[in-house]
Amino acid sequence: MDRALIVSGSDKAMETIAGFLHSCGYTNLTSTASGSEARRLLDSMEYALVIINAPLADEFGHELSVAVAEGTSSGIILLCKSDIADDVSDKVGDYGVCVVSRPINRAMLHQSIRLVEATRSRMLGLKRENTKLMVKIDEMRLINRAKCALMQYLKFTEPEAHRYIEKQAMDTRSTRREVAMRILSTYES
C-alpha cells in the first residue's frame, strides 16, 4: 500500500490513527508533531495520504493542508473539533481537503479515507491524461513549425508539406516528430 503521513500534536491520537491506517492496509507510515517538520518530509517524499490532526505544535493545521494540496498530489484529511469544522471546511474545501470533525468514529474515518483515495486516483488519472495531451500539443506545434519552414523555403503548399512529412516518416520509419525536428534543424539553424 502507499505511504501515509500523520501530523498530530497529540501522541495518543497519532498512535490511534496509525493503528487504524495499519488496519486499512497502510504499512509505510511516517508521523510528526509539527507542520514545519511535515513540510520538510513532504519536500523529500511523496505520500498518498496525509492526515492532519489539528491543532499542531507550531500551527493550527489548515495552512499545512493548503500547502500540501498546492504542492503535492496527496489525499488530505484534516481532523478538527466539531464546533469549528464548518469554518475550517470553508477555508480549505476549495483545495480538495476533506475535513472530518472530532470525535471521530472508525466508520467515518474509514469512509473518509476511501473517499480521499478515490478522489486522488481520479485526479492522478486526469493528470496523466493532461500530460499526454500536452505532449500531443507540443508535437503538433513542432510539426506545424516544420510545415511552415517547408512552405517558406521550398514553396510547398500546406497539403504538400503535410504529405511530405507523413511520407518521410513512413519511408524512414520514424515519427512525424523526428521528421519535423530534422526539417527544423535544416531550415531554422
Residue 133 makes CB contacts below 8 A (sequence gap 6+) with none
pLDDT band at 57 (very low <50, low <70, confident <90, very high): confident
Q: What is the pLDDT of residue 60?
A: 93
Domain ranges of the chain: 3-104, 130-187
Condensed to tens digits (0 to 9), the pLDDT of residues 6-16 reads 999 999 999 99
Domains 3-104 and 130-187 share a fold: no
Condensed to tens digits (0 to 9), the pLDDT of residues 62-104 reads 999 999 999 999 999 999 999 999 999 999 999 999 999 998 8
Q: What is the pLDDT of residue 35?
A: 94
> Which one-letter amino acid corresponds to residue 34?
S
Q: Do the beta carbons of residue 44 and residue 69 sit within 8 Å?
A: no
Q: At what angle do helices 158-172 and 106-153 cross, to 10 degrees?
A: 110
Using alpha carbons, list the distances in angstroms from residue 185 to 147, 153, 162, 188. 13, 13, 17, 6
Residue 188 has pLDDT above 90, yes or no: no
pLDDT band at 27 (very low <50, low <70, confident <90, very high): confident
Residue 176 has pLDDT above 90, yes or no: yes
CB-based burial of residue 184 (10 Å sphere; 0-12 exposed, 13-18 middle, 19+ buried)? middle
Q: Do the beta carbons of residue 13 and residue 61 sit within 8 Å?
A: no
pTM of the model: 0.77
Q: At what angle do helices 176-187 and 106-153 cross, to 10 degrees?
A: 50
Burial 156-181 (b: 16+ CB within 10 A, else e): beeeebbebbeebbeeeeeebbebbb
Q: What is the pLDDT of residue 6?
A: 96
Residue 1 has pLDDT above 70, yes or no: no
Q: What is the pLDDT of residue 104?
A: 86
DSSP 3-state assignment of 77? strand
Fold of the domain spanning 3-104: Rossmann fold (3.40.50)
What letter does residue 29 receive in the DSSP assignment? E
Name the CA radius of gyration of the chain, rounded. Answer: 25
Q: Give the CATH architecture of domain 130-187.
A: Orthogonal Bundle (1.10)
Q: Do the beta carbons of residue 157 and residue 151 sit within 8 Å?
A: yes
Q: Do the beta carbons of residue 97 and residue 76 sit within 8 Å?
A: yes
